[in-house]
Chains A and B, each alone.
Chain A
Amino acid sequence: EAGVAQSPRYKIIEKRQSVAFWCNPISGHATLYWYQQILGQGPKLLIQFQNNGVVDDSQLPKDRFSAERLKGVDSTLKIQPAKLEDSAVYLCASSLRAGLDASYGYTFGSGTRLTVV
């Protein structure tokens, strides 16, 4: 099966510019996650989608970050305007389903490395 696809692989922007990342999960995976991983730290969840609905976005800085998954398949994460501290790897992951009966693992994409200068 094809994996989780992410693009671009790398992006360098100046602070206050905007940037968008794209993720296409594994076919049939209802749940999609966006994580931010700062160098030397574990991934931190930004937002979780179940189909095209948001399950959890409590750690998403909503003043500058936005995400959507309009048709319940691929998703975009946007940062506008970017700050220096947004420099990180942005990881997308998908899972077959989520919820109380879930016992499935998750598959990650290769990530997008963002550098804000």
Chain B
Amino acid sequence: KQEVTQIPAALSVPEGENLVLNCSFTDSAIYNLQWFRQDPGKGLTSLLLIQSSQREQTSGRLNASLDKSSGRSTLYIAASQPGDSATYLCAVPISGGSYIPTFGRGTSLIVHP
């Protein structure tokens, strides 16, 4: 059974800081890993999808890396802005063929001006 842990659980930073959010998983036989953003009371918005054969993906100020052998992924947010305030979730599919994504509890981020 895949278990996903996200650290830290919460983060409060001033605007402009560079941030690193961590996601670890117990079963390294994954197909891919996806990072989502969730605003309060809303659904999930996909940020980055890293295939199992890739090491990283970038989109604007976001960069996600994947180290399958150590069961880790990091989401790097450069020059954080108040609009980045949200909960960030990583999802990793369970190995074995059913491709059911397992989620961590998320990191709640507040960027204050």
Contact = CB atoms under 8 A, between A and B. Distances in A.
B97 A103 contact: no
Size band of the interface chain B makes with A: 20 to 34
B100 A48 contact: yes
Interface string B74-113: 0000000000000001010100011111111110000000
Interface in A53-101: 55-56, 89, 91, 93, 95, 98-100
Contacts, number: 67
B99 A98 contact: yes
A99 B97 contact: yes
A47 to B, nearest CB: 10
Contact of A103 (B52, B89, B102): B52
Interface residues of A, number: 31
B46 interface: yes
Contacts of A40: 105
